[in-house]
Structure 1
Amino acid sequence: MRIRLLGGLEATSGEGGQVRFATRKTLLLFAALALAGRRGCRREVLSETFWPGRSNEQARSSLRQALVDIRRLFPASSDANVYIDGDQETVALIFAPGEADISLFERKLVTGSSADLAFAADLYRGELLEGQSIPDELGEWFAPYRSTYQRKALQLVERLSLALLEPGSAEELPCEGLAERLLASDPTAETAHRALMRIHTLRGHENMALRQFETCRALLKKHLGVEPEAETSSLAATLQPRQRPGDPRAAAPAVEPQPQAFSAPRKHHDRPSLAVLPFQNLSGDLEQEYFADGIVEDITIALAQFRHLYVIARNSSFTYKGQAVDIKRVGRELDVDYVVEGSVRRAGDRLRIAGQLIDTSTGAHLWADRFDGTLANLFDLQDQVASSIVGAITPKVEEAEIERAKRKPTESLDAYDYYLRGLAAFDRTVTNRSVVDEALRLFMKAIERDRDFAIAHARAARCYATRKSNGWMVDPATEIADATRLARRAVELGWDDAVALSYGGYVLGYVGGDLDESAACIDRALFLNPNLAAALGVSSWVRACLGEPDKAVEHAALAMRLSPLDPRLFAWQFNTGLAHFCAGRYEDAAVWAAKSLRHQPNYPSAMRVMAAGHAMAGHRAEAEETITRLRLLDPALRLSNLADILPPFRRPEDRSRYIEALRMAGLPE
């Protein structure tokens, strides 16, 4: 092992000698680069963080000197296993996976065999950078990493102790040693107490297991003022202390039996399924509701990146906002195995996110944790929440999928704040012009503060598409150009972002008229995130326009299944109606358009499809009635200007039938 970060900080040369760094700052810079891995760090961020209070030129100079010192210790060559790489913007420490204990630790966790878990347990010799004196200015830099590896070690000791089947196995001692090291750094680590309780029980020492429980309860009371978790108490309740023959004393533990916390999930889907409910806003400020809601959306999107999970879309989960929910009822209504609940507390620049994972079949809490930090590491906190939930459900998740959940939308928190406010406004309606205009203004504010914010570009472009659909454009040529520019920029910046590709791709098709590019963007979004209901929803629209109505109906149905209570269900119902119309199934087209209008009564697109469907099905009175309602919303609409709002049908017959059907329904020339 050439780089050791767990339980200390040291590096050895190729000859096996310990490397001596010139200064403590250089040593910590080396550690920061090792933790960042191949993605590296921006030079500007490193210089400002490690040498605060200096001028930019002085800080950059200090960084260059420190990197020279590291290069001298680890020179680059054709056979070098550890070396510095980078360009003018970023710098990275490149090393083979087996050269650092953190890389090997992560790899063994993913592999997940009992032997590999035992190996990982031995690798965790203590907290990350244990024993190192870290200056205050670097505390926040390393804190998230420390929290992450401590959390993974706690998950590891739980997994390993649950896998022990008989005393004397090769995994028993590594598990015991890890539990003891975890308790040495945090005496209230309940997971480690449980691991030791299981080991004592496995060896036939039930009395020692019960004493471990009592020790755990006393420490929790002393340091945190709380009782043990239900799972710990349940484990203790199953123990019976050994008695000497003839001992009349009752052999009952000092705790009441409770239901076993871990149970097999129900199999309503071929993958574990979950929903993230709205988090409580504990900030004492109602204005911060949008902030808590935005955090939940980001966590939901992150979880949906994992292909082995079935994740209910955020908009369906948010129908429970403000309610006192019964978890089992939520499980039945959304058809999910697990529910995530939580809270967000924001005080100044300090932030705490708390979450818990609940089995909906039993109500048992499978996982709970809290994550503290500052607004500067908001996205790292969200990553930690998402990764912890996945680890609690499927411990053998592939490392590549974990990395996918760590995508950050922007590094500008000011921009992100505007984005969340715009999202909160746009989510309220698509039929209120002033609200959509306000959402557009907020998204443009976010873009002003971060020119590379992909999702903000996509959402702003989507506002223009709503303006077009409702006939609200004042200067169509200019607004179409603006929408197309924003959409193209969203796709360019967010080529690995499924949300940006979904909305950007939709606008390129509907507003820009480029169906091929629209389909390519949306297909990539589905490749990146097959669970994203929004991507499936816009895919149903583009497939209908391309003349693939059956595929359109299939994708809309899947979107509605992933987000059955979505406030924008009406859009996917409209897409289904449009697809049926293109397929010549006019009765079905009218039925689905009517469903859309029940959810969104003033939705012009659905009115047009319903009128066209009724007309082609021979329901003349219903068609004329629908056109009358439509013209009350848009008195200027005529057959002559219908092209301004029509979908860009690829098949000429679809377009001509649609126009003719609206003529039959009574739309004037």
Structure 2
Amino acid sequence: MGTAAVERKLAAIVAADVAGYSRLMGADEEGTHASFVAHLRELIEPKIREHRGRVVKTTGDGFLATFESVLGAVRCAVEVQRGMAERNASVPEPQRLVFRLGINAGDMMIDSGDIYGDGVNIAARLETMAEPGGICVSARVQEDASGRLDLGFEDLGERQLKNIVRPVRLYRVIFDRPEASAGAVATGTQLPNLSDRPTFAVLPLANMSGDPEQEYFADGISEDLITGIATWCRFPVIARNSSFVYKGRSIDIKQVGQELGARYVLEGSVRKAGNRVRITAQLIDALTGHHVWAERYDRELGDLFAIQDDITTSIAAAVEPEIMEVEEHRATTRRSLTGYDLVQRGNWHLYKFTPESIPEAQRLFTAAIEADPNYAPAYASMAYSKYISAQFGADFEATLQSAFEYARKAVALDEKDARAHMFFAQSSLWLRRHEEAIAAARQAIALNPSLAHAYSVLGYALDCVGEFEEALKTVAHSFRLRPHDRTVGRCIPAMAVAHYQLGAYAAAEETARRAVTLTPPYWLGHQMLAASRGQLGRKADAAQCVAEIRRREPEISRSAYSARLPFREAIYAQRIEEGLAKAGWSG
């Protein structure tokens, strides 16, 4: 490049790419390309011209454009994303082209029609940090646009971008929420600040099949994992283009973590042989290099996209609880506590599921709410802790009502928080608001299909309205998603209830025995174990179960204990009381 031919200019630079492009091309190469060209010609290029910009170049899955002003670039980006949302509304989700946009303002070099320099590189890196359908901008862009456009900006903190010497402060543009005030930074909105959350990176899965033609399959699963985890889990995920720069390279996980700003890294491989595929995955703590979790998935080949969905859901369901458990332990060692840390420390106590641990958990959740009154996960965790308190016998109705109010507040603060909807469903159910409970549980699952606990909550709700076959299927799916989750002991009784009400007393007894072993304090496992053994005529074993129940709750009557589960129809509680009577509980 000769210096005489180089022109320098200050400009706003927009970089864009299509999320999940490899998967889309693998599914329909010609259709995907045609759609990209149509979007470019009918929406993107006209919008760029309208805002006094020019397209520098297009790539197979994106474009690069420059603008005379920051405001023009931001306006154009927002209109493009809104326009794409409208164009995608009638397109089946697997076929949608969804763009990520990054905007930077700075110096660039122009040579032979192309542009170069740090200003361009930063824009490209910002694009990789944007969520699908979103826009990520630098601090300079935020400063120029703040207060001058009807938009909000969420501060994502400083990040060390690859091949950029100095850290860059990033902002997410908030343009899809009507309550975002003009120029408002996220600390003034009801959006969670993600800058102190553990960031997650999915490296491209290695194709071990020996067949280059299978690269699309490995890349498709990697991209689905990035999208799925970003959508369903509680922490930010590094965008595809940043992760995929490591494809085919021998890497050091600690270095990857530093370069991407990721605390956790998922890596693995795909191997296809004959009519079977094997996918291995391992989760690594990038700070220490220690393995947090590893699993192998073997599947028969059939519908490749169904397999991708299955594997993505299974891995997303497995890694989130593992990360959160590590984060909870890590939070107990920190001296300076943010709202996020306080919630994780509280969860560490909560998930001991003992009467002694709940008050400390609630103290920490209260502190988190005081530190950040708009932090939805703090209210959601408090709701769950109140529900557990009620199950341990603390002023049952009043405590459940408190759980309901905290969960309702969490949903109001963040309607996309699946856990908030799940805990709202849980408290609604025990207040006998059955239809609300079922609707909220299904909403939680729609928001996060890998949230295993939500399927259990739905299973309990289905039990309580008499849909026992459906409850068994729903809770069984929950177990498939999280076979080793520490909360599983509190969910198993939902299956015992369904088996019992269907007259399958042996299956109910076996399930209840497992529940009691895993979570001894939970009363429902003991209820189901005693009633099932009573129905099976195992009088001595049943009498021991009744004695244990009476030891735990000496004041409760048989009829009150039988009716504790919030069935809509009294007949189901009567069946339980019948089993308890056969177990030797006289009154």
TM-score by length of 1: 0.47
Structure 1 distance, partners of 2:274, 2:512, is: 29
Structure 1 residue 448, shift from structure 2 partner: 2.4
C-alpha change, 1:648 and 1:580, in structure 2 (3 Å) is: same
Structure 1 distance, partners of 2:502, 2:496, is: 10
Which of 367, 377, 385 is residue 445 of structure 1 equivalent to? 367
Q: Tell me the SS of whatever aligns to 1:446.
A: helix
Which of 497, 517, 526 is residue 598 of structure 1 equivalent to? 517
**Is contact 1:280-1:344 (8 Å) kept?**
no
2:483 corresponds to 1:483:
no
C-alpha change, 1:345 and 1:615, in structure 2 (3 Å) is: closer
Please name the residue that 1:621 is paired with. Answer: 540
Q: Which amino acid letter does the alignment assign opposite residue 504 of structure 2?
A: R
Structure 1 residue 508, shift from structure 2 partner: 1.5
Please name the residue that 2:13 is paired with. Answer: 4
Which of 403, 406, 419 is residue 343 of structure 2 equivalent to? 419
Structure 1 distance, partners of 2:78, 2:446, is: 29
Q: Tell me the SS of whatever aligns to 2:357.
A: helix
Please name the residue that 1:463 is paired with. Answer: 385
**Residues 535-562 of structure 1, C-alpha deviation per residue, up to 9 Å, x if partnerless?**
1121221111121111111122111111
Please name the residue that 1:501 is paired with. Answer: 421
C-alpha change, 1:14 and 1:524, in structure 2 (3 Å) is: closer
Please name the residue that 2:79 is paired with. Answer: 95
1:122-201 equivalences in 2 (<5 Å): 127-130=118-121, 144=159, 146-147=161-162
Structure 1 residue 593, shift from structure 2 partner: 0.1
2:570 corresponds to 1:652:
yes
Q: Which amino acid letter does the alignment assign opposite residue 455 of structure 1?
A: P
Please name the residue that 1:256 is paired with. Answer: none
Please name the residue that 2:312 is paired with. Answer: 309
Structure 1 distance, partners of 2:332, 2:386, is: 33
**Is contact 1:277-1:317 (8 Å) kept?**
no
2:585 corresponds to 1:661:
no
Structure 2 distance, partners of 1:109, 1:481, is: 43
By percentage of residues, which structure has more strand? 2
**Residues 474-515 of structure 1, C-alpha deviation per residue, up to 9 Å, x if partnerless?**
x444323312211222233343222221122112112x2211
TM-score by length of 2: 0.53
Q: Tell me the SS of whatever aligns to 2:270.
A: coil
1:624-643 equivalences in 2 (<5 Å): 624-639=543-558, 641-642=560-561
Which of 267, 271, 294 is residue 265 of structure 1 equivalent to? 271
Structure 2 distance, partners of 1:594, 1:500, is: 30
Which of 333, 345, 355 is residue 433 of structure 1 equivalent to? 355
C-alpha change, 1:492 and 1:126, in structure 2 (3 Å) is: same
**Is contact 2:508-2:528 (8 Å) kept?**
yes
Structure 1 residue 571, shift from structure 2 partner: 2.1
C-alpha change, 1:612 and 1:108, in structure 2 (3 Å) is: closer
C-alpha change, 1:536 and 1:345, in structure 2 (3 Å) is: closer
2:486 corresponds to 1:567:
yes
C-alpha change, 1:637 and 1:310, in structure 2 (3 Å) is: same
Structure 1 distance, partners of 2:404, 2:247, is: 57
Structure 1 residue 124, shift from structure 2 partner: 8.7
Unaligned runs of 5+ in 1: 19-34, 36-68, 75-80, 85-92, 101-105, 111-121, 166-188, 196-212, 225-260, 284-288, 294-304, 323-342, 350-374, 376-412
C-alpha change, 1:551 and 1:145, in structure 2 (3 Å) is: farther
**Is contact 1:6-1:127 (8 Å) kept?**
no
Q: Tell me the SS of whatever aligns to 1:4.
A: strand
**Is contact 1:277-1:320 (8 Å) kept?**
no
Please name the residue that 1:609 is paired with. Answer: 528
Q: Which amino acid letter does the alignment assign opposite residue 310 of structure 1?
A: T
C-alpha change, 1:463 and 1:271, in structure 2 (3 Å) is: farther
C-alpha change, 1:448 and 1:551, in structure 2 (3 Å) is: same
C-alpha change, 1:650 and 1:143, in structure 2 (3 Å) is: same
C-alpha change, 1:280 and 1:543, in structure 2 (3 Å) is: same
Q: Tell me the SS of whatever aligns to 2:520.
A: coil
Structure 1 residue 520, shift from structure 2 partner: 0.5
C-alpha change, 1:608 and 1:192, in structure 2 (3 Å) is: closer
1:233-252 equivalences in 2 (<5 Å): none
Please name the residue that 2:176 is paired with. Answer: none
Structure 2 distance, partners of 1:502, 1:268, is: 41
Structure 2 distance, partners of 1:607, 1:311, is: 31
**Is contact 1:273-1:310 (8 Å) kept?**
no
Q: Tell me the SS of whatever aligns to 2:503.
A: coil
Structure 1 residue 5, shift from structure 2 partner: 3.7
C-alpha change, 1:127 and 1:521, in structure 2 (3 Å) is: farther
**Is contact 2:492-2:515 (8 Å) kept?**
yes
Structure 1 residue 526, shift from structure 2 partner: 1.2
Q: Tell me the SS of whatever aligns to 1:265.
A: strand
Q: Tell me the SS of whatever aligns to 2:343.
A: helix
Structure 1 distance, partners of 2:397, 2:433, is: 16
**Is contact 1:607-1:630 (8 Å) kept?**
yes
Structure 1 residue 613, shift from structure 2 partner: 1.1
Please name the residue that 1:582 is paired with. Answer: 501
Structure 2 distance, partners of 1:310, 1:576, is: 22
Please name the residue that 1:25 is paired with. Answer: none
Unaligned runs of 5+ in 2: 1-10, 17-46, 55-63, 85-95, 101-112, 124-137, 144-154, 166-201, 214-241, 256-266, 293-307
2:426 corresponds to 1:521:
no
1:340-489 equivalences in 2 (<5 Å): 414-427=338-351, 429-430=352-353, 432-471=354-393, 473=394, 475-489=395-409
Q: CA RMSD in A?
A: 5.6
C-alpha change, 1:588 and 1:483, in structure 2 (3 Å) is: same
Structure 1 residue 634, shift from structure 2 partner: 2.3
Q: Which amino acid letter does the alignment assign opposite residue 347 of structure 2?
A: L
Q: Which amino acid letter does the alignment assign opposite residue 485 of structure 1?
A: E
1:523-538 equivalences in 2 (<5 Å): 523-538=442-457
Q: Which amino acid letter does the alignment assign opposite residue 648 of structure 1?
A: P
**Is contact 2:387-2:399 (8 Å) kept?**
no
Q: Which amino acid letter does the alignment assign opposite residue 358 of structure 2?
A: V
Please name the residue that 1:119 is paired with. Answer: none
Q: Tell me the SS of whatever aligns to 1:530.
A: coil
**Residues 445-483 of structure 1, C-alpha deviation per residue, up to 9 Å, x if partnerless?**
222222332222222122222222222x1x444323312
Q: Which amino acid letter does the alignment assign opposite residue 521 of structure 1?
A: A
Structure 1 distance, partners of 2:550, 2:525, is: 13
Q: Which amino acid letter does the alignment assign opposite residue 506 of structure 1?
A: Q
C-alpha change, 1:544 and 1:82, in structure 2 (3 Å) is: same
